[in-house]
């Protein structure tokens, strides 16, 4: 069964064709990065307008590359419906509905975060249960995954998302855009013991698996003057390396605690931050953990992961209603303090 997957939740306009939820026949990702770079961040209005301009061409390319036509070679359509930028989501969702209606195909709305979590399953056969670590620009989720449809959120961020903190620190120091990628690259040349940033204390009650990035971000921005006065060399590389270590160590600590508490030692990562070199290194080298990371192309936003998860939803008999709406947020994926 061939599923056409449409992803427009943020700044990547992506359409893919995936066979049987596993074989990627095409995965076209048209990135808007250059169009948002002058603002050092994603401008929602620009993002949704570009999706409107690009979606048809990207879809045609996905069909052509896969060597199929919508009428003959596509059996179902899957489209991201939540969470994300509302205007961007609405473009893909409306377009997907239009395609499904005009071609008379079954279709389903897909949750973007669950699709990130599912992405490594395109490349690996992974036995349940496992711990899921979904780290992106808008979310930081540690969960227990018992089956495709049984995902229990154990911890989230109580303020900024991990990728958001990378982006904000990179923006403050003018490290480049997109921030997370630029900071990660600079960090490779830096000394990660140059600065010691504070770690949050979230050890109690509902928060034992939660993380917090707002204090670390503020420290990385504000403590620098103090460090300079102490005579420390505040090179961009050293700031990047020290920040990256603090941000990722915080996550890894929670993953290890979850592994110890649940007895589940398999970790499956997804989302843009799962491309981070230090995160990949620390988790994959940990003798206590067996880990699966998506290849780089499947870490960040892409239509293939939407098509793959959509396939399983369709196979389970799920069909979405025409009045399905886009949702910017999903309760439970982010937590407010306390
Ligand atoms: O999953 P994604 O493409 O979009 C969202 O769903 O948000 O993730 C984008 C986020 C951005 O915050 C970006 O800075 C971050 O992932 N990111 C990274 C790296 N590559 C992307 N953060 C740290 N290190 C990286 N190598
Ligand atoms: Zn994403």
What does the pLDDT look like over 286-314, one tens digit per residue? 999 999 999 999 999 999 999 999 999 99
What does the pLDDT look like over 218-255, one tens digit per residue? 999 887 777 677 767 678 999 999 999 999 999 999 99
Of 288, 292, 211, 285, the closest CA to residue 254 belongs to: 211
Helices (H), the chain: 33-36, 44-66, 70-73, 86-103, 112-118, 162-172, 179-187, 214-222, 224-229, 236-262, 277-285, 296-299, 303-315
The three-state secondary structure class of 12 is strand
Domains of the chain: 2-117+299-315 (3.30.420.40), 126-293 (3.30.420.40)
For residues 248 and 282, the answer to whether their CB atoms sit within 8 Å is yes
- From the CA of 163, the nearest ligand is 1
CA distance 167 to 10: 15
CA distance 274 to 280: 7
Q: How many A from CA of 137 to the centre of ligand 2?
A: 7
Can you tell me the mean pLDDT for 150-168? 95
pLDDT band at 259 (very low <50, low <70, confident <90, very high): very high
Cα Rg, the chain, nearest whole Å: 20
pLDDT band at 336 (very low <50, low <70, confident <90, very high): low
pLDDT above 80 for 202: no
CA distance 33 to 69: 29
CA distance 249 to 132: 16
- Asked which of 194-198, 268-272, 275-279, 319-323 is least confident by mean pLDDT, the reply is 194-198
For residues 267 and 292, the answer to whether their CB atoms sit within 8 Å is yes
For residues 78 and 108, the answer to whether their CB atoms sit within 8 Å is yes
For residues 115 and 103, the answer to whether their CB atoms sit within 8 Å is no
What does the pLDDT look like over 108-131, one tens digit per residue? 999 999 999 999 999 999 999 999
CA distance 241 to 193: 8
What does the pLDDT look like over 65-82, one tens digit per residue? 999 999 999 999 999 999
Q: How many A from CA of 123 to the centre of ligand 1?
A: 20
Burial class for 333, CB neighbours closer than 10 Å (0-12, 13-18, 19+) = buried
C-alpha 79, offset from chain centre: 16
0.75 cut: is pTM over it? yes
- Contacting residues for 321 by C-beta, under 8 A, at least 6 apart: none
What does the pLDDT look like over 261-285, one tens digit per residue? 999 999 999 999 999 999 999 999 9
Report the length, in residues, of the chain: 338
Of 187, 188, 213, 191, the closest CA to residue 202 belongs to: 213
Helix axes 236-262, 162-172, angle to 10 degrees: 170
Of the residues 180, 249, 269, 298, which should be mutated to test ligand 1's pocket, given the most ligand atoms within 8 Å of the CB?
A: 180
Region for 104 from its dihedrals, namely left if φ exceeds 0, alpha if ψ lies in -120 to 50, beta otherwise: left
Of the residues 165, 300, 306, 333, which should be mutated to test ligand 1's pocket, given the most ligand atoms within 8 Å of the CB?
A: 300
Give me the percent of the chain exceeding a pLDDT of 70.
Answer: 97
Top pLDDT among 33 and 233 is at: 33
The three-state secondary structure class of 150 is strand
For residues 270 and 283, the answer to whether their CB atoms sit within 8 Å is no
For residues 135 and 162, the answer to whether their CB atoms sit within 8 Å is yes
CA distance 38 to 22: 37
**Any ligand 1 atom below 6 A from CB of 166:** yes
**Any ligand 1 atom below 6 A from CB of 84:** no
Top pLDDT among 225 and 192 is at: 192
Averaged pLDDT score across all residues of the chain: 94
**Any ligand 1 atom below 6 A from CB of 184:** yes
User: What local confidence, expressed as pLDDT, does residue 207 receive?
Assistant: 84
User: What local confidence, expressed as pLDDT, does residue 338 receive?
Assistant: 41
Sign of the Cα torsion 298, 304, 307, 308 reads negative
């Amino acid at each position: 069964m061939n599923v056409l997957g449409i992803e427009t939740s943020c700044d990547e306009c992506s359409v893919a064709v995936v066979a049987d939820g596993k074989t990627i026949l095409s995965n076209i990702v048209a990135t808007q990065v250059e169009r948002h770079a002058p603002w050092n961040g994603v401008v929602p209005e620009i993002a949704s307008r570009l999706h409107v301009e690009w979606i048809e061409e990207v879809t045609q390319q996905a069909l052509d590359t896969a060597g199929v036509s919508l009428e003959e070679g596509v059996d179902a359509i899957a489209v991201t419906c939540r969470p994300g930028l509302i205007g961007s989501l609405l473009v893909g969702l409306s377009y997907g509905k239009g395609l499904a209606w005009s071609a008379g195909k079954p279709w389903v709305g897909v949750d973007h975060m669950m699709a990130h979590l599912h992405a490594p399953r395109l490349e690996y056969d992974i036995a349940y249960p496992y711990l899921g670590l979904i780290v992106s620009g808008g979310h930081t989720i540690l969960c227990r995954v018992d089956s495709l449809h049984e995902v229990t959120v154990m911890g989230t961020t109580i303020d900024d998302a991990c990728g958001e903190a990378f982006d904000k620190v990179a923006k403050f120091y003018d490290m480049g855009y997109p921030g997370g990628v630029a900071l990660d690259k600079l960090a490779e040349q830096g000394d990660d013991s140059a600065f010691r940033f504070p770690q949050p204390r979230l050890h109690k009650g509902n928060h034992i698996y939660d993380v917090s990035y707002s204090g670390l971000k503020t420290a990385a921005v504000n403590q620098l003057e103090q460090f300079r006065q102490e005579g420390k060399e505040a090179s961009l590389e050293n700031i990047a390396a020290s920040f990256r270590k603090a941000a990722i160590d915080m996550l890894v600590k929670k993953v290890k605690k979850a592994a110890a508490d649940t007895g589940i030692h398999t970790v499956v990562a997804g989302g843009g931050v799962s491309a981070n070199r230090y995160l990949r290194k620390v988790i994959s080298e940990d003798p206590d953990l067996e880990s699966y990371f998506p290849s780089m192309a499947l870490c960040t936003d892409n239509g293939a992961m939407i098509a793959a998860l959509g396939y399983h939803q369709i196979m389970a008999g799920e069909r979405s209603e025409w009045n399905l709406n886009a949702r910017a947020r999903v309760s439970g994926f982010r937590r407010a303090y306390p």
